[in-house]
Amino acid sequence: MEMFTAIGLNHFLTISALLFGFGMFAVMTRKNAIVILMGVELILNAANINFLAFSKYNGGMEGVMISLFVIVLAAAEAAVALAIVINIFKTFKTVDVSSVDTMKE
Amino acid sequence: MMHSLIQLSIVVLLLPLLSFVVLIFFNRKLPRMGDFVGVGMLGTAFALALYIFWSVIVQQYDPAFKVAWNFTWLDFGNVPGVGPLQVKMGIVIDNLTAIMLAMVTLISLLVHLYSTGYMAGDKNYGRFFAYLGIFTFSMLGIVLSDNLFSIYMFWELVGLSSYLLIGFYFEKDSAADAQKKAFLTNRVGDIGMWLGILILYSQFHTFSYDEIFQNIAAGKFNLSNGWLTAAGILLFFGCVGKSAQFPLHIWLPDAMEGPTPVSALIHAATMVAAGVYFVGRIFVILSVDALHYIALIGAVTAFMSATIAITQHDIKRVLAYSTVSQLGYMVMGLGVGAYSAALFHLLTHAFFKACLFLGSGAIIHAMHHEQDMRWMGGLRKNMPWTFATFSIATLALAGLPLTSGFMSKDAILAGALGFAATEGGGIYYIIPVLGFASALMTAFYMGRQVWLVFFGESRTHLKPAEEHHDDHAAHGHDAHGNDAFDHSSGHGHDAPHGVHEVGWVMRLPLVILATLSIFIVFSPDPLDGGKGWFMHLVPTPSTVVKSSAIAHEGALAAHGEQPSAEAVKAPEHAAPENAVQATTGEHAVAAVAGEHVAAAGEGHGPVFTDARQAELLHATHANHYTAIYLSSGMLALGLSLALVVYKFGAIDPEKTAQAIRPLYLYSFNKWYWDEIYNATFIKGSMLLSKSCAWFDTNIIDGFVNGIATVYRKVAFANGSFDKYVVDGFVNFTAFFVQTSGAVMRKIQTGKVQTYLVMVLLAVLGYFAYYLVQLMK
Amino acid sequence: MNELTIAIIFYIFAAVTVLSAAFVVFSKNVIYSAFALLFTFFGVAALYVFLSADFIAVTQIVVYVGGILVLLLFGVMFTNTIMQTELKADVLHFVPGVLLTLLLIVGMLYTFYTTGDWMPGHIQLSGSVVERIGIETMSRYMLPFEMASIVLLVALIGAAFLARYDKAHKNEH
Amino acid sequence: MLSLIVFLPIIAGLIILAVPASQKQIIRIVSLLAAIAQGVIAVLIWRHYDPTMAGIVAAPGGSPFGSFQLIERIPWISLNLGSFGPMTIEYFIGVDGISITMVILTALISIIGVLSSWTIQKQVKGYFILFNLLSTAMMGCFVALDFFLFYVFWELMLLPMYFLIGIWGGPNREYAAIKFFLYTLFGSVFMLLVMIGLYFSVVDPMTGNHTFSLVAMADQANYVKGSILGPDSTTWRYIAFIVLFVGFAIKVPMFPFHTWLPDAHVEAPTPISVILAGVLLKLGTYGMMRINFPLFPEVYQAGLYIIGVFGAINIIYGAFCALAQQDLKKMVAYSSISHMGYVLLGLAAANSEGMLGALYQMFNHGTITAMLFLLVGVIYDRAHTRAIDKFGGLASYMPVYFGVVMIAWFASLGLPGLSGFISEAFVFVGAFSAPITRPIAIVSVLGIVFGAAYLLWSLQRMFLGKRKPDAAYELESDGHGHEHIHFHDWNGKLDLDARELTMLVPLAIIVIALGIYPMPVMGMLTTSINKLVQVLAPVAMSAVK
């Protein structure tokens, strides 16, 4: 009972791992570019959780600051990514990334 | 400066050549195919030759007469080891030359004349006269030339012209074979002669008779005497070929394929005479052994061909073998040292044999080219002129006294006897014995021939018809449409009534030649040709062979430096008186013997400087009358035998033939010489040539191609190694890179997610590694 | 408020976060995913609060929910309204994906739980960190702050440029 | 003057290059003009030739001038080989007694060849260009006095010959051409080695440098002691001699190396056969007289007997092979093997008569064999076959042809009065006079008979007798008893036509004239031949100069 009631670092790490895994799964397997972007957001959030958790239990400000920057960059990333997806859609009339493989050979 | 006779003789030499050149090119354009050109040229030539004969024989009447002229034909410059070297060609005229010149041109002229009748209407009429021209030309060349080289050249030219004339009816295969056979057989003889010439040249670097004689006399012959004998025998081989001596006699009977006038020319005047004449020319260098060899050959030839002549049916073949036999006589005469007698016989024989051939030609002509005596007979009435002349010539050939043949043949036989005696009798008597035996047979077969042809009844109808037709077919090309008769008459039983005497152009030569067969032309004494001008003017020259040369080195030293024309004079100076004295019967013999002793005593004198020759001469005259009696006996025997057999039929020839069939066949088939040669030499060389060709294509060329094949194989192996191993390695590298690239390419899907998976896998891999590390 | 209550609240938010995240990932409908993502973000923001990072939590809600999520929704609408059919976004290689993901998660958890024990330092963050964030931003993190702003500006302009209406493409249709 | 006669054909070839291939007549005429110009120059050379100048070796003092004539000598290639010193190759040509006749012969045969090429219809332009190239190469070989130059011409000869046989030849032409090419190449490759060896062994007395000059090489005094082919290295000199000899013997061709000849002849077109037999074969024996023997006299003296034996084998073996042939052209080819045997025999005699006979035989064989091949070509044009047994009785129907055939055939079998006889006769005279070769001469004399045998036999089978049942022509009888023959698909003149006569008659005249009075040609040779014999003589004899 102790280990459940006393919320510790491992709880947060576990959640972040799950989020990361889900995000990874989405990125790996979903065909819809937008869903992939969502997966990316999940991964970033998982990272943020880790940063903050570590900075809380080490009593430093670094994790806090970096997570702040991560959020900012995530915003930028989302904007650019969306724009790209829209361009892809304009070009290929689809957002299915499996059909967008002109890089092949 | 050139002697006028020389100039004349050159004209005589060139006229027949001119006629050849003109006729060979223009015979079709000229009227009468230009036969008048040939006859005219020969007529002129004969006139000139007669003038030469007159001025030499009649005016000079000098046994030693001789004019010579030569020019540098080749100039070798200054040859290392020899010094200045030239090959000279030239002309020499002495008594013998003058006589031969007249004889050849006369007979050639007569043959020309005769041919205008005999060959009339032949489609190659003109060409025939052209060939006669070149034949005469080359014979005259032989007569006139003064050196071995030019005589060899004309010698071969005679071969060529005989080739052309024998094969005149070249469309007939037998004629084509005969001409080839004649040329090749002569070639065989010629290489012997050529080798003889080479032996002499290799010693003296000259071809001229006189220089060679001079050198030999001076003992400059550096090889052993065996070589000299060999040279003599080899030179004699030329004569064997041309004069149809055993073993090269085979071509002469086949030469009968030529037109009959040609046979006359070949047998009497030109070709066969050349051989004997040549041996006469080189007589002085013949060593004793060579002479023995020659005598033997002559005797054998005479005997063998006489035996063959007995059984032949073809009128011309009988004459052909009689010619061979007579030539055997001449050669034998030369061999036994009866030089003058042999050449005398050459002359007399020329006339009566020409007469015989032209006569037989007349008969054949009249009988529409029937040549088989079995189907003739009874022509005496139809052809009186021919009959008369033919019989005279026959008697001359058989050697009846009062004919020319008697004198010459008798002289030869006397020489043979003397020879045997000189050589010490014994085995040497084989030669005179053979001689007399052939005399007997000569009388017999000539009697047989005359009887079969002229006496009895016509046997034309006995001839099997088809053979008759074959005969006509075989001669179909032969002078057709020339004779005035229709051909049908040729077939009928009434042939003799269809047979008429030939025209005057063919009759005239017969008459002339017959008259020239009478003794008086040559000698006042019908029993002794030795009293005649010929024996006087053509004496036996003294031999120069080294063995005997030692005896009179002094004499030669005396005129060693004289010009070549003079070189041989000295011995000839010696000869005539000798001959004259010797021929004056018994007391002379003693004289000769005495002088001979003297000669032996004082080294060199007016008589023969060679002891052996002197002795021969002595013995010959000792045996003179023996020879006369014997030969006359033989003649009588032979003729009477012929009469007995063919007139009275006391002996049936058929039965006799059956009785002695093997002998008969042996003779009838000419001792099977043709078969023997055919089986050995011809088959042999054919086989050899086949095998050579096989060797060439299969062995040598096979070897070459084999090398090529091996090389190709190796090259191929090398190539495949290069292709499959070396190149293969390179290609394999490329292939490996390519395939692996192709595999890798599959990974390159272009899907970002795949790449992500890869990354993830890598991370997991790192995890795994990390865990393993932890385990330890 | 005692620890138990805090733990219960924590677990509730944790569950919301994880489940909504799972829904985001596994739902076939993009729209649903987007809305599920909204809950995920809220949950995460709540967890931030538990980590005593209130300012970050607020920023999280403002930026993500107010910005990114709206952006995503626009994207979804924009792309999906044009082609009616494709509202479903199916999954490829589902099973290997799941396996890999599980492998990854298990690996991570194993690492977390075996790698020693994360020693909590004696001092922990407590109370509001807004003030300290302001100080840090203006002092120690000055340069990264400026660069972040520039990056944000460039990204937005670039995005606007990329996504702008294109005549060439218009002509193609 | 010499350069002109050598390079005229090349010039003609260049002109032909400019002529469009369709203008066949112009091409032929250009070549003919070039050949005739060559002939004219050859006659001029002959007229101005001074027979008293010996040649063979340099005049006393080492200068070729005064010994050779019409000399042209300019440095051609000169490289600096560092340690070997300067390597100079000269363009050095000139004539003496043994080359002048060959030059005249080549010019003559070239004219004949062009004339007989008139019937060539296939790729006329290429044909004549190659032909002219060939003619230049041959002429060059005969006048070259620099070994390197000689070698260049020698090799240059192979190429056109190869193509002329390989393209314009008969059905089996590739085989024949390649055989010819490989054979000759095999010979000449070794020649190259010997040539280099000689270069480093010989020093030109005038300049003191190494030289390729054959004139310098011919004088044993110019050989450096201790060099590879110097006077003292006997073994190498023997090897070099043998190698050179084989190289030339292949061209002759000598017995074991002769099998290329029949194939080449049978396949080659008529003009090429004429050139091949008329000139090319002579190059072998000419090379022996010019290079092989004078450069290694002592080896030559040692090998006389062997050379003679090979000559005899050539004579008799060739005659036998000819006797067995069914193809007329092949028979003629073997006959020329047999006749070149006389040349070898004469060379083996090592005395003036033999050498003179040999050289004269080279000239006569050139003219006579040219006639033979032309005559074969004539009948082949008409009957499209050369099988001897496919004729018979031609003499009656083609009298003019038969007449010329008689001259050629009898000249070939050495009938007196025709040029062949004199040369053969003096070959025998020489061979018999020399004790070494006497037995060989005795044996070889048989060749006279066999030569007569195959020629007369073929003559009989083709021209005498009657038409054979399977003959290559038909007989048709006109109204009045005369028969004429008719060849399938031949509508030209039945008997010899004007062009053929213009080829054959001059040759016949030459053959007869030189047979009666050979001095016009022999007179040019004697001095050089005597000099050659002196140069070749054993030391004892040559010391007496």
User: What are the DSSP calls for chain C, one per residue?
Assistant: --HHHHHHHHHHHHHHHHHHHHHHHH-SBHHHHHHHHHHHHHHHHHHHHHTT-HHHHHHIIIIIIIIIHHHHHHHHHHHHHHSSSTTB--BSSHHHHHHHHHHHHHHHHHHHHHS------SS---S--HHHHHHHHHTTTHHHHHHHHHHHHHHHHHHHHHTS--HHHHHH-
For D204-327, where are the alpha helices, taking DSSP H only? Answer: 214-217, 234-251, 260-267, 270-275, 281-287, 293-295, 297-324
Name chain B's partners: 3 or more CB pairs within 8 A.
Answer: A, C, D
Write out the H or E segment, with its range, that includes residue D475.
strand D473-477
- Minimum Cα–Cα distance from D429: chain B residue: B198
Residue-number span of the structural domain to which D478 is assigned? 311-545
Task: Count how many residues are written for chain A.
Answer: 105
Q: What is the DSSP string of B51-70?
A: HHHIIIIIII--TT-EEEEE
Q: Is D175 on the interface with B (CB under 8 A)?
A: no
Scanning B740-759 for CB atoms below 8 A from C yields: 757
Q: Domain boundary at D270, D302, D334, which?
A: D302
Q: Do C103 and B764 touch (CB under 8 A)?
A: yes
B73 three-class SS: strand
Q: What's the mean pLDDT when you consider all of chain D?
A: 86
Q: Is B590 on the interface with C (CB under 8 A)?
A: no
Pick the residue with more confidence: C83 or B343? B343
Residue B347 half-sphere exposure toward CB, CA atoms < 13 A: 30
Q: Are residue D140 and residue D278 in the same domain, yes or no?
A: yes
A83 touches chain C (CB under 8 A): yes
**What residue type is assigned to position C83 of the chain?**
M
**Domains of chain A (ranges, CATH numbers):** 9-92 (1.10.287.3510)
- Check if the beta carbon of residue D530 is closer than 8 Å to that of residue D359: no
**What's the Cα-to-Cα distance from D451 to each of B160, D319, D334, D448, rounded to whole Å?**
15, 6, 10, 5
Q: Note the pLDDT tens digit of each residue in D323-375.
A: 888 889 989 999 999 999 999 999 998 888 899 999 999 999 999 999 999 99
CA distances C148 to A45, A46, A65, B97, Å, are: 18, 20, 12, 146
According to DSSP, residue B429 is labeled G
Contacts of B753 in chain A (CB under 8 A): 27-29, 97-98
Asked if D531 contacts D352 with a C-beta cutoff of 8 angstroms, the reply is no
Task: Report the alpha-carbon distance of residue B154 to residue A4 in Å, rounded.
Answer: 149
Q: For residue D257, how many C-alpha atoms fall within 13 Å in the half-sphere facing its CB?
A: 24
Please say if the pLDDT value at position B177 is more than 60: yes
**Residues linked to residue C88 through DSSP beta bridges, in sequence order:** C29
CA D382, D386, D388, D389 torsion: positive or negative? negative
Q: pLDDT tens across D193-206, in order?
A: 888 888 888 888 87
Tokens representing D404?
A: 């010329």
Residue B609: pLDDT band (50, 70, 90) is low
Output phi, psi for D489, to 5 deg.
30, 55
Beta-strand pair D473-477/D69-80: unpaired
Establish if A72 touches chain C: CB-CB under 8 angstroms: yes
Interface test mutation site (partner B, options D360, D426, D464, max chain B beta carbons within 10 A): D464
Q: Chain B partners of A104 at a C-beta cutoff of 8 Å?
A: 748-751
Q: Is B464 exposed, middle or buried (0-12, 13-18, 19+ CB in 10 A)?
A: exposed
Q: Are residues D298 and D375 part of one domain?
A: no
Q: Which residues of A touch C10 (CB under 8 A)?
A: 7, 11
What letters, b where the CB count within 10 A reaches 16 and e where it falls short, cover B286-302? bbbbbbbbbbbbbbbbb
Terminal C-alpha separation, chain D: 32
Q: Would you call A98 and C91 a contact, using CB atoms and an 8 Å cutoff?
A: no
What is the residue type of C63? V
B659 touching A, CB under 8 A?
no
Structure tokens at B190: 């010629």
Asked whether the predicted pLDDT for residue D447 surpasses 80, the reply is yes
The residues facing A30 across adjacent strands are C91
Mean pLDDT highest for which of B488-492, D259-263, D389-393, D486-490?
Answer: D259-263
Q: What are phi and psi of C118, to 5 degrees?
A: -70, 100
Look at residues D193, D195, D162, D160 and name the one whose alpha carbon lies nearest to residue D179: D162
Scanning every residue of chain A, which has its alpha carbon at the shortest distance from the alpha carbon of B749? A104
Residue C56: is its pLDDT beyond 50?
yes
Q: Which residues of chain C make contact with B760, given a CB cutoff of 8 A?
A: 100, 104
Could you tell me if D39 and D82 lie in one domain?
Answer: yes
Q: How confident is the model at residue B84 (pLDDT cuts 50, 70, 90)?
A: confident
Query: What are the beta bridge partners of residue D477?
Result: D483
In chain A, the residue whose alpha carbon lies closest to the alpha carbon of C47 is A49
Helices A33-58 & C69-82 angle (0-180, nearest 10): 170
* Closest Cβ–Cβ partner in B757, B767, B774 for C100: B757
- D82: CB partners within 8 A, 6+ apart: none
List Cα–Cα distances, D355 to A36, D88, D534, in angstroms.
108, 33, 12
Residues D282 and D336 occupy one common structural domain? no
In whole angstroms, what is the distance from residue D379 CA to residue D261 CA?
21
Q: Which residue has the higher pLDDT, B283 or B220?
A: B283
Q: What angle do the packed helices B624-646 and B611-622 form, to 10 degrees? A: 50
User: Beta B66-79 vs B83-94: how paired, if at all?
Assistant: antiparallel
Interchain contact D43–B (C-beta under 8 A): no
User: Quick one: pLDDT band at residue D408, thresholds 50, 70, 90?
Assistant: very high
Residue D354 sits in the same domain as residue D416: yes
- B127 with D406: CB under 8 angstroms? no
pLDDT of residue D417: 86
On whether both D245 and D318 belong to a single domain, the answer is no
Lowest mean pLDDT: which of B481-490, B494-503, D251-260?
B481-490
Q: Are residues D371 and D237 in the same domain?
A: no
Residue of A38, A55, A86, A98 to mutate, testing the C interface (most C Cβ within 10 Å of its Cβ)? A38
Q: What is the pLDDT of residue C119?
A: 62
Q: Which of B187, B692, B693 sits opposite D448 (nearest CB)?
A: B187
B764 and chain C in contact, CB less than 8 A: yes
Judge contact between C86 and C80, C-beta under 8 A. yes
Tell me the backbone φ, ψ of residue B62, rounded to 5 degrees: -125, 115
Measured between beta carbons, the chain D residues lying within 8 angstroms of B686 are 323
Q: Which of B752, B755, B761, B767 to mutate to test the interface with A (most CBs of A within 10 A)?
A: B752
- Which SS3 state, helix, strand or coil, does residue D146 take? strand
Q: Is B462 on the interface with A (CB under 8 A)?
A: no
A94 chain-C contacts, CB cut-off 8 A: 83, 86
Q: Which of D239, D228, D236, D219 has its CA nearest to residue D201?
A: D228
Subunits next to D (3 or more Cβ pairs <8 Å) are B
Mean pLDDT throughout B496-506?
Answer: 70
Task: Kindly report the number of other CB atoms within 10 A of residue D207's CB atom.
Answer: 13
Interface membership of B749 toward A (CB under 8 Å): yes
ipTM: 0.68
Please answer yes or no on whether C118 and A10 come within 8 Å at the CB atom: yes
With CB atoms and an 8 Å threshold, state whether C111 touches B767: yes
The answer to whether B730 contacts chain C (CB < 8 Å) is: no
pLDDT tens digits for range B259-305: 888 888 887 667 888 888 998 888 888 888 888 888 888 888 888 88
Average pLDDT over every residue of A29-50: 88
Choose one of D302, D319, D350: the last residue of a domain: D302
| Residues D456, D353 share a domain | yes
Cα(D340)–Cα(C49) distance, integer angstroms:
123
Q: Is D408 found in the same domain as D273?
A: no
Question: Same domain, yes or no, for D323 and D402?
Answer: yes
Degrees to nearest 5, angle at CA B524 with B520 and B527: 95
pLDDT tens digit string along D57-82?
887 777 788 788 888 888 888 777 66
Q: Residue B597 — pLDDT band, cuts 50, 70, 90? A: very low
Average pLDDT over residues B323-350: 87
The answer on D388 and D328 residing in a single domain is yes
Using a CB-CB distance cutoff of 8 angstroms, which residues of chain C are in contact with residue A84? 162
Question: Cβ of A66 under 8 Å from any chain B Cβ?
Answer: no
The first and second tokens of residue D213, run together, are 């000059």
Q: How confident is the model at residue D509 (pLDDT cuts 50, 70, 90)?
A: very high
Give mean pLDDT, residues B496-513: 76
- Are residues C100 and B774, on separate chains, in Cβ contact within 8 Å? no
Give D301-355 as a DSSP string.
Answer: HHHHHHHHHHHHHHHHHHHHHHHH-SBHHHHHHHHHHHHHHHHHHHHHH-SHHHH
How many Cβ pairs closer than 8 A exist between chain A and B? 25
Query: Given C82, C91, C163, which is nearest A29 (Cβ)?
Result: C91
Instruction: Give how many domains chain D has, as a whole number.
Output: 2
Interface test with C, best of A24, A89, A90, A94 (most C CBs within 10 A): A90
Residue to substitute from D432, D485, D509, D529, interface B, most B β-carbons within 10 A: D432
Q: Which of B8-22, C92-106, D432-446 has the lowest mean pLDDT?
A: C92-106
Mean pLDDT of chain A: 83
Which of B767, B772, B774 to mutate: most C Cβ within 10 Å? B767
The answer to whether D421 contacts chain B (CB < 8 Å) is yes
Is residue B441 within 8 A of residue B363, CB to CB? The reply is: no
Say whether both D319 and D298 belong to one domain.
no
Q: How confident is the model at residue A3 (pLDDT cuts 50, 70, 90)?
A: low
What is the mean predicted confidence (pLDDT) over B431-444?
A: 86
For residue B397, what is the DSSP state?
H
Query: CB distance D356–B696 less than 8 Å?
Result: no
Q: Is the pLDDT of residue B577 over 80?
A: no
Among A9-18, C90-99, D498-507, which is the least confidently predicted range?
C90-99
pLDDT category of residue B463 using cuts at 50, 70 and 90: low
Average pLDDT over residues D99-104: 90
Q: Which residue of A has its CA nearest to C159?
A: A80
Both tokens assigned to B380: 């005496």
Burial of A6 (0-12, 13-18, 19+ CB in 10 A): exposed
